Amino acid sequence: MNLKNLENELKKELEQPNTLFKTMSGNGWIDFAKNNPIPKMLFGELWYEKEICILFSDTNLGKSILSVQIANSISKGISTANLTNQCEAQKVLYLDFELTAKQFENRYSEEFQNHYVFNENFLRSELDLEKIRNDNSDFEEELLKSLESEIAFHMAKVVIVDNITYLKNETEKAKDALRLMKILNSIKKKLDISILVLAHTPKRDASKPISKNDVSGSKNIMNFCDSSFAIGESFSNNEYRYIKQIKERNVSKIYHSDNIIIYRIAKINSFLQFEFIEYDTESEHLIHRVKTDIVERNEKIRELHKTGMNNCEIGRQLNISEGTVRIALSQNN
């Protein structure tokens, strides 16, 4: 369709009844979309520009650590955690409902000395308790309005909310989760921003792979977000965490059960962060494997190692990762 045809489509739209809908032909929509830039990666294939993305996990697995790390990389226009950021430096508004200022300082310093220096594009916001009225019966409504005003005032292009329960206490209830996601989508489109929202999981079965059903208010939250990924706990090594892709719209799923990303949490140059280790299968890190299975596997690893095979060769033969072989051999020593 050429430019004249697109103009005709837009003219038809102007002549349509005054309804809530905007209607054009399929070709008209494609030509309209051609004028919009192709979304770029913010955090690899897990989160793209102009998306509402949900990051969820159980408590104390490092959601806040990872989200600050992501915010830091976006504010500087650099990649992090072995995942690509394709964008130039952007202003990020990080709404922190979890940590006090002193706790935040501790995470990004060495015993409150040698503090990490953030880029000025990184803005952290917390609730001003002096402005919260005791008689405010509709606190959540006021909070959401304040969120939109804060984003607009600071001209932030990326917003990270830590975490969703502070925006809506009853996100486990379908109707509340649905309404919240609609409001966030409205803010996203109105201000042309990207949003990452952190969420907790209810108590889950650690023997099963992480799925979209593990997030609070899962059905409505997952239906109305653009993308989602989760942090899992490794039961093969308590120092490890893993990231798994849960929902995607711009790409095919890459970081699925057979290709999770393994990290450990480390403080490097006063910055607490997820440090990349390797890729692995999720089954190797779930709790469902009984002790006898692990003992038998480790015995096979030891026997193959004695024959002179290296870790990678053992991993290929047993269909496990090199890291799993390395851990087993270190435990056997």
pLDDT in tens, 301-317: 999 999 999 999 998 88
| pLDDT in the model for residue 76 | 99
Mean pLDDT of 48-67: 96
Q: Indicate whether 299 and 175 sit together in one domain.
A: no
Asked, for residue 269, whether it belongs to a domain, the answer is yes
pLDDT band at 180 (very low <50, low <70, confident <90, very high): confident
Q: What integer is the mean pLDDT of 174-201?
A: 87
233 and 319: one domain? no
Using the predicted structure, report yes or no on whether residue 11 has a pLDDT greater than 80.
Answer: no
Could you check whether the bond before residue 163 is cis, i.e. omega within 30 degrees of 0? yes
Would the pLDDT of 172 be above 70? no
Q: Provide the CATH number for the domain around residue 68.
A: 3.40.50.300
Report yes or no on 113 lying in a domain.
yes
Specify whether 130 is located in the same domain as 273: yes
Indicate whether 12 and 91 sit together in one domain: no
148 plus 207 within the same structural domain:
yes
178 in any annotated domain? yes
Same domain, 208 and 303: no
- The H-assigned helical ranges of the chain are 3-15, 26-34, 63-76, 101-107, 139-154, 174-191, 218-224, 291-306, 311-318, 322-332
Please enumerate, as own/partner, the contacts of 184-192 that have beta carbons within 8 Å and a separation of 24 or more.
Answer: 184/52, 185/52, 185/224, 187/147, 187/148, 187/151, 188/50, 188/52, 190/148, 191/148, 191/151, 191/152, 192/50, 192/157
Model confidence at 10, pLDDT cuts 50, 70, 90, reads low
What is the rounded distance in angstroms from the CA atom of residue 160 to the CA atom of residue 198? 8
How crowded is residue 62: how many other Cβ atoms within 10 Å of its Cβ?
Answer: 18
Residues 324 and 265 occupy one common structural domain: no
125-166: pLDDT as tens digits:
998 877 776 665 677 788 888 999 999 999 999 999 998 877
**pLDDT category of residue 48 using cuts at 50, 70 and 90:** very high
pLDDT at 75 over 90: yes
> Which is more confidently placed, 213 or 268?
268
Is residue 58, in this structure, part of any structural domain at all?
Answer: yes
Domain assignment present for residue 234? The answer is yes
Query: How crowded is residue 108: how many other Cβ atoms within 10 Å of its Cβ?
Result: 18
pLDDT of residue 131: 74
Mean residue pLDDT of the chain comes to 88
Same domain, 94 and 222: yes
Do residues 176 and 300 share a domain? Answer: no
Please give the residue range of the domain that contains residue 15.
Answer: 3-34
Residue at a domain's end among 250, 268, 285: 285
Please check whether residue 166 is in contact with residue 143, taking contact to mean a CB–CB distance below 8 angstroms: yes
pLDDT of 288 strictly over 80: no
Q: What is the pTM of this model?
A: 0.82
Amino acid letter for position 48: Y
Give pLDDT, residue 221. 83
pLDDT of residue 289: 56
One domain, residues 301 and 176: no
Percent of the chain with pLDDT over 90: 56
Radius of gyration of the chain (CA): 23
| pLDDT per position as a tens digit, 108-130 | 999 999 999 999 999 999 988 77
Q: What is the pLDDT of residues 213-255, one digit of tens each?
A: 888 665 678 888 999 999 999 998 889 999 999 999 888 899 9
Residue 222 lies in a domain: yes
Say what the pLDDT of residue 61 is: 96
Domain membership of residue 44 (yes or no) is: no
Residue 181 lies in a domain: yes
pLDDT band at 63 (very low <50, low <70, confident <90, very high): very high
How many separate domains does the chain show?
A: 3
Is the domain of 164 the same as that of 222?
A: yes
pLDDT score of 188 more than 90? yes
Q: Domain check: are 200 and 278 in the same one?
A: yes
